Amino acid sequence: MEWTREMRYRHYREMTDAEEKDLLEKVNYSIWRQQFHIQPPYGLLNDPNGFAYYQGKYQLFYQWFPFGPVHGMKHWYHVESEDLIYWKDKGLGMAPEYDHESHGIFSGTGIVKDELLYLFYTANKRDEDWNRESAQSLAIMDRNGRIKKKEIPIIPKQPEGYTANFRDPKVWQDKDSDTFYMIVGAERMNHTGCALLYKSEDLLNWHFEGELKTDFEQFGYMWECPDIFQVEGKDVLLFSPQGLEPDGDSYHNVHNSGCFIGYFDKEKHYFQSNFFQELDAGFDFYAPQTTQAPDGRQILIGWMGLPDTSYPTDKDMWANCLTIPRELYIENNKIYQSPVKEMIAKRGSLTEWRGSLNSEETILEDFSDAVYELICDMSVEEGIAGLKLRTGKEEETLFYLDTKRQKIVLDRTKSGAPVAVDYGTVRQTTCTDNKISLRIFVDTSSVEIFVNDGEFVFTARIFPKEESKGIKLFAEDTTASFDIKKWEYITQP
């Protein structure tokens, strides 16, 4: 199907009942609908937006193009949760209304002030020659869930010296004052990526402070979805740089996400850090956003998808989902990601296996399933050993430790319907241990693998046949021991 510009830039209110019925029928027949991840009712989902704790619930929005699995006129879809694990659909959150947002509402943030939820977003417009115009805009949600947008942008355009690729505002309050800061992703006129800083005393009137200086002046051509926060007293700058070239095991996806850990000098507009950490070693992770839970935890949710990428669900008229929520903490100056503690509440019946393999493979007969959580402690002598997930007659998703090469590897070469094969079907990262712990979340069409309590994370969409539900263990020319627990998942409260 060829999506014309006219088809991509339709407003949700233009959807007919017949169109919606047709979309729902196609989605309902999809064999890859997730059971415990946030996903669109139909159409395309991308960046998480407006993530905030408000009125006793987590409020979360995501970018949504309703008419199909392509990028077009973006709306915000709204979900909420009391516990971060069971999410209730609230329907359309925001749609384009005004001239300055005539071509879509792009990503943004949420912050609570005076018992109101302030929602900042980028308003996207195209002129008659299809040149982009970007403005930062504001909507406010009250205690009854009503959202009202300001008719005039709070920042009408980018400063001099930057292109109209000026988007994705994130707002936070300075912990030592009543001052608010905003960081916005940007592109310099020489087509290099950066972030811009603004300051406000009331969330309504904003002053441009300047470009955020870093030790990485030439780092991709655009910085999307920037986010500054603190974890355990250290400042973190999270963003998604576009245009990084592959470097060793890093940056092999079409676009990537990561962070700097260091010190944010708000007076000098400088973030000091000498190392960029890629946040996810897998295939499908982008545009993460964080919020602070009432107990102080910094919670991250990412888009389990990528720009400029087609997925097998496209034929079913939907695409993409969000990751499970993850708690952030720091060890050895590195961000660790751990599934939020609330996920334990989803566990159902338990199956266990413990044993060793010597250059052999075994099927875990009682473990067959498509939706579950699995914990595995494994020890490998010199060689390769690991797990095969969602196995079938010709399908398997491999995750293994290679102690000879000192790598941990995710291989989706045979995971089912292919995805983005031009960027490779194997992801790996260095691991010098011969003993690792794994916590794995498998949904109908995804895997999220947390290694060593979140030291490494591999996120991937997979698209196997419905009957491919097996789990195998293997050891190649080595001896390996395994201690495994697997829980069925309760997908409804």
Q: Which residues are catalytic?
A: 47
Concatenated DSSP letters for 181-223? EEEEEEEBTTS-EEEEEEEESSSSS-EEEEE-B-S-SSS-SEE
Cross-strand partners of 230: 235
Q: Name the residue type at position 84.
A: L
| Residues contacting 82, CB < 8 A, separation 6+ | 56, 57, 58
Exposure on the CB side of residue 344, measured as CA atoms within 13 A: 4
Q: Which helix (H) or strand (E) holds 5?
A: helix 5-8
DSSP state of 96: -
Nearest-CA neighbor of 275 among 320, 234, 224, 328?
234
| Residues contacting 23, CB < 8 A, separation 6+ | 42, 43, 66, 67, 68, 317
Q: Can you list the alpha helix ranges (DSSP code H) found in 184-333?
A: none
The neighbour count for residue 230, using CB atoms within 10 Å, is: 13
Cross-strand partners of 132: 126
Q: Which helix (H) or strand (E) holds 27?
A: helix 17-28
| Three-state DSSP class for residue 244 | coil
Contact 373, 489 (CB under 8 A): yes
Exposure on the CB side of residue 397, measured as CA atoms within 13 A: 32
Cross-strand partners of 234: 231
Q: How far apart are CA 98 and CA 205, in angstroms?
A: 20
Q: Which tokens in the block code for residue 308?
A: 């400029």
Contact 335, 229 (CB under 8 A): no
Q: Decide: residue 460, CB within 10 A, 0-12 exposed, 13-18 middle, 19+ buried.
A: buried
